[in-house]
Amino acid sequence: MPSTAFLLDAAAKATVIFAAACLVTLAIRRSSAAVRYFTWNCALAAVLVVPALSWLVPKWDLPVKTPPSSIASTVLLADTSTPPAPEVPSPVAVRPKRTVNWPVAIWLAGVLIVLARLAAGHLRLTLSLRRAPEVRTPEWIAACAEAAARIGFVRAMRLRRSGETDVPLTCGLFSATVVLPDVSDEWDAERRRVVLLHELTHARRRDPALWFMAQVASAVYWFHPLAWLAVARFRQEQERSCDDAVVRAGTGQAAYAEHLVDLARSVAHAGPYAAALGMAATSDLEQRVRALLDTRRSRQDLRRGVCLACAVAVLAAILPLAALHAQASSQASLAGTVHDPSGAVVPGVLILLENNTSHQEAARANAAGEFKFSVPAGSYTMEVQAPGFAKFQKTVALPADNQMNIMLDVGPVTDAVEVVGKAPHPPETGTPQRIRVGGNVQATKLVSMVKPVYPPNAEAAGIEGTVLLRAVISTGGDLLGVSVANTSVDLELANAAMDAVKQWHYQPTLLNGAPVEVVTTIAVTFRLER
């Protein structure tokens, strides 16, 4: 079942495709209906193909800048002492509750309703076709052969007559069937020729299958207004381009328009043939007649080679769209509690998250040992180091692993004893050589610290967070190149931490008595007392 993020991604891409089709058809509004019909065909096919291609083509992540989210933490940097751990009962594993993904459930319910209606229509159509007898009269057979030869239709087809339809229509996803009303026996030769030219044009272009594709697209995107607009325009251009094909076959425009109006007068109900392509639908009849009588309108058809080239161009255009993914479209939360082996909580512990791009986020456990992250979904390495405890490291995949209770093990104890004896005097072989002995490192020490000030706006908004800073302690004890390592922290908190830390001064690290530069990481935690 697709996720909410996948549905939003598909809906956004469908919006781009439908909007592009609207702009293209608006730009080519003076071209033939066949060109506009082909454009809507490509758009409806693309919105069905793009989600499938998204699973097949390599992903192209588009970084999207989102407002930083706060990271809950509750221990100030100035408070370096660890508060006493309160006595709490041992943690009990709680089975996570199953939640319903309501957006996906609502979308799926809408798809099933529309598809059920579509399936019911085709079932009624199939049952009605079984009851409809095949037409074998010589005049109709001869008229079919003449119309097929005029438009270049060479596939097999069936001609049936039914009392359950008022107008001629074409149906059949795989094999073409033309259904005539009972009154068709009273038609003259001209009307027979016009009707067969129209319906066989539908069959030659496989319009019933394309209409089925458009209905499936409307089912998948039932929630999208542009989808229903695209299907309506698709149906309009389908009939208008078919009308142009009849005119190109030698039918007079005024005479053909008169036949359409006469056939539309007999329409009473759709009946079981609502899923088929009716020739004289009344919903768009006036526009079709106006288009037929417009002598300036282009009625050119699209050649097969042009259609193939345009289809390849459309496929090349939608491949990057299918591969495009918004990286920051989904946020994930991770919460938990830090415990020691006795079951007591461990407050004040710094927890680090690092993804495969070496991007780090940090949070500090509060007085109850609880911590919380809000970061982009993905795979992270969690790391916890606390004095006296062994290093904790684990890989978490968000949003699947949204709850993580950390159990810190007591660190190992190592003792070393050195026994020194007197070595025998080596024989003198020459002038003694001076050996440079190293390995003497004197760690840096913070000499002067300016305490960060809580930003008033962040304090009023209830924003907390841990700012992870990276810098270089110079040989003179100043901080160089101070930068924020985590991007999910609030910007005001980050600026406040930066302003204060830049003024700090250290006693430099000494290596064998000489000062050297070292890289340092500073965690500044902003906490609100409750």
Q: Which residues contact 386 (CB under 8 A, 6 or more apart)?
A: 346, 349, 408
If phi > 0 it is left, if psi is from -120 to 50 it is alpha, else beta; for residue 486 that is beta
Per-residue pLDDT, 165: 85
How many Å apart are CA 404 and CA 339, to the nearest integer? 11
Dihedral angle of Cα 349, 495, 332, 380, to the nearest 10 degrees: -60
Confidence bin at 143 (pLDDT 50/70/90) = very high
Q: Is residue 62 part of a domain?
A: no
Nearest alpha-carbon partner for 361 in 331, 327, 326: 331
Q: Is residue 372 part of a domain?
A: no
323, 356, 388 - which closes a domain: 323
Q: Which residues contact 267 (CB under 8 A, 6 or more apart)?
A: 166, 167, 278, 280, 281, 282
Task: Calculate helix-pair angle for 285-293, 253-265, nearest 10 degrees.
Answer: 170
Per-residue pLDDT, 400: 75
Per-residue pLDDT, 414: 56
Burial of 470 (0-12, 13-18, 19+ CB in 10 A): middle
How many Å apart are CA 93 and CA 113, to the nearest integer? 41
Beta-strand ranges (E) seen in 163-202 are 169-171, 176-181
Dihedral angle of Cα 234, 235, 237, 243, to the nearest 10 degrees: 160
Q: Which helix (H) or strand (E) holds 396?
A: strand 392-398
323, 354, 378 - which closes a domain: 323
Q: Per-residue pLDDT for 502 more than 50?
A: yes
Measured between alpha carbons, how far is residue 331 from residues 190, 334, 488, 499 in Å?
A: 66, 10, 11, 29
Do residues 168 and 180 lie in contact, with contact meaning Cβ atoms separated by under 8 Å?
yes
Q: Which of 100-109, 191-200, 294-303, 516-525 has the highest mean pLDDT?
A: 191-200
Q: Is residue 371 part of a domain?
A: no
How many Å apart are CA 362 and CA 421, to the nearest integer? 50
Number of domains in the chain: 2
In this structure, what are the phi and psi dihedrals at residue 85, rounded to the nearest 5 degrees?
-80, 125
More confident residue, 196 or 88: 196
Per-residue pLDDT, 421: 59
How much is the pTM?
0.60
Indicate the residue type of 510: L
323, 346, 365 - which closes a domain: 323
Model confidence pLDDT, tens digit, residues 258-294: 988 888 887 766 566 666 777 766 677 888 888 888 8
Residue 299 carries which DSSP code?
Answer: -
Q: Is residue 107 part of a domain?
A: yes
Read off the pLDDT of each residue in 413-436 and give the average, rounded to a whole number. Answer: 62
Residue 284 carries which DSSP code?
Answer: T
Residue located via tokens 């965690």: 523
More confident residue, 378 or 1: 378
Q: Which helix (H) or strand (E) holds 134?
A: none
Distance of CA 320 to the CA centre of its chain: 13
Q: Is residue 22 part of a domain?
A: yes
Residue located via tokens 């006469």: 262
Confidence bin at 102 (pLDDT 50/70/90) = confident
Q: Per-residue pLDDT for 88 more than 60?
A: no
At 499, which CATH number?
3.30.2420.10
Measured between alpha carbons, how far is residue 53 from residues 57, 319, 329, 473 in Å?
A: 6, 7, 19, 50
Say yes or no: 311 and 447 in one domain. Answer: no
Residue located via tokens 């008022």: 166
Question: Sign of the C-alpha dihedral, residues 256, 260, 261, 265?
Answer: positive
Q: Per-residue pLDDT for 17 more than 90?
A: yes
Q: Is residue 315 part of a domain?
A: yes
Q: Which of 26-40, 250-264, 331-345, 513-527 has the highest mean pLDDT?
A: 26-40
Residues spanned by the domain of 456: 441-526
More confident residue, 64 or 93: 64
Say yes or no: 445 and 315 in one domain. Answer: no
HEC letters along 391-446: CEEEEEEECCCCECCEECCECCCCCCCCCCCCCCCCCCCCCCCCCCCCCCEECCEE
Say yes or no: 306 and 166 in one domain. Answer: yes
Q: Are strands 324-326 and 60-62 parallel, antiparallel or unpaired?
A: parallel
Q: Per-residue pLDDT for 452 more than 90?
A: yes
Q: Is residue 134 part of a domain?
A: yes
Per-residue pLDDT, 80: 35
Q: Please report, for the chain, how many H helices and E strands are present, in that order.
A: 12, 21
Nearest alpha-carbon partner for 193 in 253, 146, 134, 126: 146
Enter the tokens of residue 394. Answer: 């684990």
Enter the tokens of residue 478. Answer: 């100043």
Task: Count other C-beta atoms under 10 Å from residue 156's C-beta.
Answer: 7
Q: Is residue 256 part of a domain?
A: yes
